[in-house]
C-alpha cells in the first residue's frame, strides 16, 4: 500500500509507472496495470486518487484520437499500450498496439469507479467522452462476420496473454469490448434522459450521430464469444485449441521466463500462457459465469500458465479461492506478497512490480475475503487460511467505510462511516447500521 500510495500521480496529468517510482524498468511507462490492478485498490481506499488517474486518461484522449486516425480509423480513440504523454511507446506491436483491450480496460475502470463513488460530475465532464470514443473504436475495429453467424468479431488482436499474439476473437478482448459497448450505450441513454443539453454539446463536439448508439448496442448484443462445446470451456481465442500444448515436461527450469529463451514465433505456435487471460475475464465479469464454468476454465488454463508475467499469480490466487482450491490460493498469494522481497521474477533490480503489489491487496480482499460487487451491492465470502490467526481491512464503498475482520470465530463487519447499508455475507443479506 505504501508503494502504491507514494507512486501514484495525483494531478490528473501523471499516472503510475509499472515499476512505481522504484526503478528504470519499462522506462517509467504506464500500462493497463493502472486500470485493472491499481485503480481497484484506490477505488476502495482513496477514490479521489482513482479520479485523478482517470483524468490523466482524459488528458491523453486527443492523442488517442490521433492514434486511431494514424492506424486508419476515422472515428474513435485508441489508447496507447504503453505511454507517458499519450503517444504509443511500445516498440513491438504484436504485444503492444495489438493489445487493443486497453480501451476496454479503461472503460471498465470508469464503470467501476462510478459504481463505488457515484461521481456523476466526473462522468459528465470526463467519463462520457472517453466511453463514447472507445466504443466508437470497437465498431471500427471489428465487424459482423457472415461465416460466424453475423456475430460481431474482433480479429487480429492480442489479449492479455502475451505468449499468444495476433489472433481472432480473443475471449477476454471480446467480453470486455462487449462490456465497454453496453455500458457506453447505457451512459448515453442516461445522459439523454437526465442531461440532454450536456449530451447535445458533447455530441456536437465529437460529431456523434444517433445511429452510432444503436450500433454499440447491436455489437454488444451480437458479440462473438469463443466457446468449446466438447471441453465446455471458453476458448482463449478462435484458434487456441488447435495448437499443440507447450512441452512443459522437457522445458528446464532455467528456460523460464520463456520470452528470454525462445523466439516469439516459437512461443506463439503453442498453447502456453504467460499470464491470466480468460481466467482474468471471469474474475472481472464474475457474475456472468457459473462456478462450475469458472472451475473448468481455471483447471484448463492453470495447467498451461507459466506466470512469467507478474500480473498473473494474484488473479490465480483469487480465482483459486473462488473455485475452492484454498491451498493453491494460499501458495499463489504468498508468491504474490513476497514477489519483490524474494526476487521471484528475477528482475526486482529493475524496480518493484506495482500491479502485483495491488494484486496482493486484491488477493486478501477479493481473494480470501471474496469481495465482489454486482448491481451496486457489495458481497463477501470470507475464508481464513489455516496458517493465519486473522486478517482485517477497510473498504470504502458508496460513501461508507466498512471494516472487515475475519478471525477463527468468524467474520465481523463494522460500519465506521456513512449511512446504513445492505451487504451480502456468504449469500445472506445483512444490514450494517451505526
Ligand atoms: O502490462 C504488463 C503486461 O500485461 C505484461 N508485461 C508487463 C506489462 C507491464 O507490467
pLDDT digits (tens, 9 = 90+) for 207-237: 999 999 999 999 999 999 999 999 999 999 9
- Residue with the nearest Cα to atom 5 of ligand 1? 309
Please give the model's pTM, rounded to 2 decimal places.
0.98
First to last CA, the chain: 28
What one-character DSSP code corresponds to residue 48?
H
Per DSSP, the three-state class of 425 is strand
Q: How many Å lie between the centroid of ligand 1 and the Cα of residue 417? A: 36
**Strand 377-380, strand 421-425: pairing:** parallel
The one catalytic residue among 88, 162, 282, 322:
162
**CA 220 distance to own-chain centroid:** 18
Q: How many Å lie between the centroid of ligand 1 and the Cα of residue 341? A: 19
Per DSSP, the three-state class of 269 is coil
Q: How many Å lie between the centroid of ligand 1 and the Cα of residue 114? A: 25
Contact (CB, 8 A) for 310 and 354: no
pLDDT at 293: 98
Torsion of CA 414, 367, 278, 131, to 10 degrees: 30
Summarised one tens digit per residue, pLDDT across range 170-192 is 999 999 999 999 999 999 999 99
Give the pLDDT band of residue 142 (cuts 50, 70, 90). very high
In whole angstroms, give the CA distance from residue 352 to residue 341. Answer: 9
Summarised one tens digit per residue, pLDDT across range 305-331 is 999 999 999 999 999 999 999 999 999
Identify the residues whose C-beta falls under 6 Å from ligand 1: 18, 26, 31-33, 160, 162, 309, 311, 355
* Residue to mutate (ligand 1; options 30, 91, 162; most atoms within 8 A of CB): 162
Contact (CB, 8 A) for 4 and 358: yes
pLDDT at 12: 98
In whole angstroms, give the CA distance from residue 98 to residue 156. Answer: 8
In whole angstroms, give the CA distance from residue 158 to residue 29. Answer: 19
**CA 316 distance to own-chain centroid:** 14
Q: How many Å lie between the centroid of ligand 1 and the Cα of residue 275? A: 9
- The torsion region of residue 405 among left (phi > 0), alpha (psi -120 to 50) and beta comes to beta
- Residue with the nearest Cα to atom 4 of ligand 1? 160
292 is catalytic: no
What are the residue ranges of helices labelled H in 273-391? 278-284, 291-302, 313-323, 326-337, 354-362
C-alpha cell at 140: 471500427
* Residue to mutate (ligand 1; options 3, 17, 18; most atoms within 8 A of CB): 18
* Residue to mutate (ligand 1; options 309, 340, 346, 353; most atoms within 8 A of CB): 309
Closest atom of ligand 1 relative to the 355 alpha carbon: 10
Amino acid at each position: 500500500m505504501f508503494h502504491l500510495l507514494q507512486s501514484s500521480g495525483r494531478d490528473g496529468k501523471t499516472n503510475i509507472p509499472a515499476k512505481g517510482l522504484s526503478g528504470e524498468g519499462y522506462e517509467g511507462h504506464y500500462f493497463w496495470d493502472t486500470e485493472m490492478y491499481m485503480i481497484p485498490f484506490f477505488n476502495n481506499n482513496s477514490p479521489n486518487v482513482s479520479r485523478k488517474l482517470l483524468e490523466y486518461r482524459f488528458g491523453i484522449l486527443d492523442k488517442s484520437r490521433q492514434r486511431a486516425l494514424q492506424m486508419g480509423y476515422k472515428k474513435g480513440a485508441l489508447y496507447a499500450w504503453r505511454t507517458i504523454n499519450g503517444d504509443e511507446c511500445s516498440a513491438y506491436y504484436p504485444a503492444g498496439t495489438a493489445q487493443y483491450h486497453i480501451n476496454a480496460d479503461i472503460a471498465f475502470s470508469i464503470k467501476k469507479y462510478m459504481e463505488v463513488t457515484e461521481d456523476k460530475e466526473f462522468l459528465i465532464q470526463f467519463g462520457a467522452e472517453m466511453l463514447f470514443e472507445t466504443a466508437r473504436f470497437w465498431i471500427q475495429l471489428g465487424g459482423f462476420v457472415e461465416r460466424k453467424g453475423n456475430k460481431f468479431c474482433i480479429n487480429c488482436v492480442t489479449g492479455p496473454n502475451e505468449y499468444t499474439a495476433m489472433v481472432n476473437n480473443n475471449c477476454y478482448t471480446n467480453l470486455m469490448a462487449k462490456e465497454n459497448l453496453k455500458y457506453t450505450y447505457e451512459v448515453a441513454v442516461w445522459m439523454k434522459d437526465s442531461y440532454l443539453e450536456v449530451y447535445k454539446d458533447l455530441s456536437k463536439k465529437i460529431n456523434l450521430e444517433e445511429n452510432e448508439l444503436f450500433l454499440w448496442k447491436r455489437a454488444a448484443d451480437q458479440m462473438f464469444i469463443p466457446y468449446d462445446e466438447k471441453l465446455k470451456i471458453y476458448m482463449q481465442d478462435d484458434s487456441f485449441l488447435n495448437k499443440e500444448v507447450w512441452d512443459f515436461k522437457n522445458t528446464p527450469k532455467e528456460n523460464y521466463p520463456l520470452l528470454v529463451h525462445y523466439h516469439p514465433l516459437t512461443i506463439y505456435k503453442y498453447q502456453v500462457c504467460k499470464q491470466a487471460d480468460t481466467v482474468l475475464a471471469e474474475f472481472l465479469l464474475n457474475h456472468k459465469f457459473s462456478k462450475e464454468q469458472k472451475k473448468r476454465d481455471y483447471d484448463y488454463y492453470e495447467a498451461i500458465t507459466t506466470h512469467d508475467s507478474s500480473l498473473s499469480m494474484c488473479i490465480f490466487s483469487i480465482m483459486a479461492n473462488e473455485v475452492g482450491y484454498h491451498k493453491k490460493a494460499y501458495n499463489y498469494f504468498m508468491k504474490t506478497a513476497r514477489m519483490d522481497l524474494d526476487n521471484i521474477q528475477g528482475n526486482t533490480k529493475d524496480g518493484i512490480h506495482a500491479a502485483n503489489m495491488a494484486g496482493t491487496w486484491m488477493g486478501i480482499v477479493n481473494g480470501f475475503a471474496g469481495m465482489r460487487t454486482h448491481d451496486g451491492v457489495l458481497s463477501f465470502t470470507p475464508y481464513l487460511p489455516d496458517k493465519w490467526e486473522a486478517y482485517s481491512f477497510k473498504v470504502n464503498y458508496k460513501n461508507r467505510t466498512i471494516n472487515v475482520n475475519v478471525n477463527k470465530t468468524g467474520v465481523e463487519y463494522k460500519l465506521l462511516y456513512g449511512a446504513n447499508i445492505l451487504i451480502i455475507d456468504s449469500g445472506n443479506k445483512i444490514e450494517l447500521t451505526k
